[in-house]
Each structure stands twice: as C-alpha cells, then as structure tokens.
Chains A and B, each alone.
Chain A
C-alpha cells in the first residue's frame, strides 16, 4: 500500500469515527460515490464496528462497590495514621539528620526498603520501623514540605495517574521535572518503536 493509499485508508477509518473535518468528509463521500473499491473497503472497516458495538456490557459483580468502599476506608485510615505518626515524630525529625531512603523496585506488595542515615546511629531504627509500616512516608513528608506547589501538583497527579500507592521515592520530585522535560522525546521514541 502506498503512502497515499494508507492515508486514504486512515481517512476512511476516521470517517467511521466521525473525526474528519467537514471539508475532508465531503471529499471522501464524493470519492466513495465514485469508487466501488473504496465502498467495499469502507464496508469492510465498518463491519468491525458493527461487530464491536453489540458486545455485551460487563456487569459489576456483587460486592465490588462495597470492596471499593472498604479500600477507601482503609486508605483513609492509613493516611491518617501516617499523618499522626509524622506529627508525633516531628520533634525527633527536626533534631535528627535527614535520612535517605532508597526504594528498590517493587515486586508485588509493598516495596522493600533500604534505610540509611547520614549520621550513623542517628534515627535509623526509628525510620526502619516507619518504613516497614508506611513506605517512605516521613521522607516524603520532608520532601513535600520543601516542594513548590507546581512540584506538588505534578507529584500528586503522578500518584493518581500512575501505578504508585504512595509518592514513595525520595528522588521522585527530582525525576518528575526530568521526566516532564523528556516526555516529549520519550513519547516520540515509543511512537517510532510501535510503528516499527
């Protein structure tokens, strides 16, 4: 298929989706009226939609809504605990050296953590306990306290839109800016890869 033919074929598909501008749509309709071959192709593409449309709805099984509510309740409680823990540990944290938490890649469940302190023997045991129950919460709180509103918004959107239960990585905010800057290039790379 030549490039022109491919573009024409893409326009047939876009016409099915109602996504052509009116001028191109009118041109295409005129071409279709004059070309049995184009009509046949349009019919072939349209049949896909005719097959997809009647696929049945997927009823939500009983109990799922309640399960969502349960998870929300747990999530709220967990976050409340973390806030209390952070408030209680604030004085200690103010005196303690800034800890560095390195978060290893997650392999199901909670991510394993390695905790190190810039001051040996400092607050490491305390932080380990925190880390076991609440991944990186204190460190994240430290970081978020320093973050600009823009960084915070990016991080929170990232948490919602991507697969993170918490903003777990101390390096996350730094990476955010890099990823935002590089996202255009990465997207283009991905696009090229998928095209190939």
Chain B
C-alpha cells in the first residue's frame, strides 16, 4: 500500500494530522493540474479547496483499492469538468492568471535571454494545452506529467484503457504538430516512464527538476 493510502486510512481513523500531510504532499501538484484544466488561477484554487473538502467528507469511506492519487485526481477531475460545463462560468475572483501563471518565474537562474525564451516557450505550451479538448488534456497531463498508468487515467475518466490510449495519442500528436519549433533536446527517444510511476509525489518532484 502506498504511503498516501496509509495516510488516508489513518485520517479515516481520526488522525487529522494525516489530512494536513496529504494536503502538503498533493496540494501543489493538484493545483497545477486544476489550473491547466480550467485555465484560471482563482477557479483552480476554489476547486482545490472543494476537492479536499470532499476528501474530508469521504474520510471514513475511502478504501485503498487504488492509489490515493487516482482517487484524489478523480474527484478533482470531476469537479473541474463540471466547472468547465457550466453555461457561464462565474468566477468568484478576478483572474490572477498574470500574476499566478504556472509559467511565471520559471527557469530562475538562467541568463536573461534564456529566461525570456523559456517563458515564451512555456507560455506557448500552456496556451496550446488549453486549446486541447478537455478529456484529451486530462489524459495527456495525467499520463505524461503525473505518471498515471492508462488504467489509472481510465479510472479517473471513467472510461476504457483503449480510449485513454487514443486520447493521449491525439493530444500528444496535436501538440507535436502545433509547436514544431520545440527542440531543446538531442531528439533521442526517451526511456519509458514505467520507472517513474508508482506515485511518490516527492520522488516525482525530484524527477521533474
């Protein structure tokens, strides 16, 4: 059983500190994901709060039959998809995209021109991500960034692995076509992500650095 599942079960038994630990471990990653889903910092923060509120409500009913992260992201994903389907999304606060953009202040420590270039490339990528159909966006992010298996993405989206494979591929293919200028590598095929899976968020964070 993964550490998060153990924390969640401990929380279900009344250990409130376990809830705080789960928030500390997953809050930032989930917020980043939600922000990419709804393209609005303030709405993503609301959804983050709502997700953890629901985690709290469900504390005694959590069963560790899947990874905690799969369950957590399923709640967050459903809330985000519902938010996106509202006829006219009413945002409780003004958008803070400019100041709280995920691309802000990235690549600190680089030379100024590299920093500017990195910001521009990241901003372009964020825009293209936002243009993807929502389920493609979810599937690609969960598989490519969060390291979910296709089975876990399928569980999150309540669909089949076969369909997830198609969603991820279409998203990846679209981005490859829209942003052909991306390089920044020697072009060698990357090793598979299997070794990066099994979800210790802190380990994932280390790998992203």
Contacts and interface: CB of A to CB of B under 8 A. Distances in A.
Interface of A: 9-10, 13-19, 25, 32, 39, 42-61, 64-65, 67-68, 71-72, 75, 108, 153, 156-157, 159-163, 183, 187, 191, 194-195
B125 interface: yes
Contacts of B31: 58, 60, 64
Nearest to A14: B165
Nearest to A20: B192
Contacts of A160: 54, 57-58, 61, 75
Given A46-B189, A50-B182, A50-B185, A19 B208 contact: no
9 contacts: A19-B150, A42-B189, A51-B182, A52-B125, A55-B103, A56-B102, A58-B100, A65-B23, A194-B135
B48 A60 contact: yes
B74 A52 contact: no
Given A45-B172, A49-B190, A59-B28, 4 more contacts: A16-B189, A55-B103, A58-B100, A163-B83
A47 B145 contact: no
Interface range, B side? 35 or more
Interface of B: 20, 23-24, 27-29, 31-32, 35, 44-45, 48-49, 52-54, 56-58, 61, 74-75, 78-79, 82-83, 90, 100, 102-107, 121-122, 125-126, 133, 135, 140-141, 143-145, 149-150, 158-160, 163, 165-166, 168-169, 172-173, 175-176, 179-180, 182-185, 187-190, 192-197, 205, 208
Given A52-B144, A65-B20, A13 B173 contact: yes
| Secondary structure class of chain B's binding surface, majority of residues | helix
Nearest to B208: A53
A105 to B, nearest CB: 10
A57 B32 contact: yes
A51 B53 contact: no
Nearest to B42: A61
Contact of A55 (B27, B74, B126, B184): B126
A18 B78 contact: no
Contact of B187 (A15, A43, A61): A43
Given A58-B32, A65-B23, A160-B54, A17 B168 contact: yes
Given A50-B182, A55-B126, A187 B159 contact: yes
Contacts of A187: 158-159
A37 to B, nearest CB: 14
Nearest to B108: A56
B188 A18 contact: no
B172 A18 contact: no
Contact of B144 (A49, A157, A183, A194): A49
Nearest to A12: B169
A16 B61 contact: no
B103 A56 contact: yes
Q: Which of B35, B79, B105, B169 has the most CB of A within 10 A?
A: B169
A67 B208 CA distance: 28
A57 B29 contact: yes
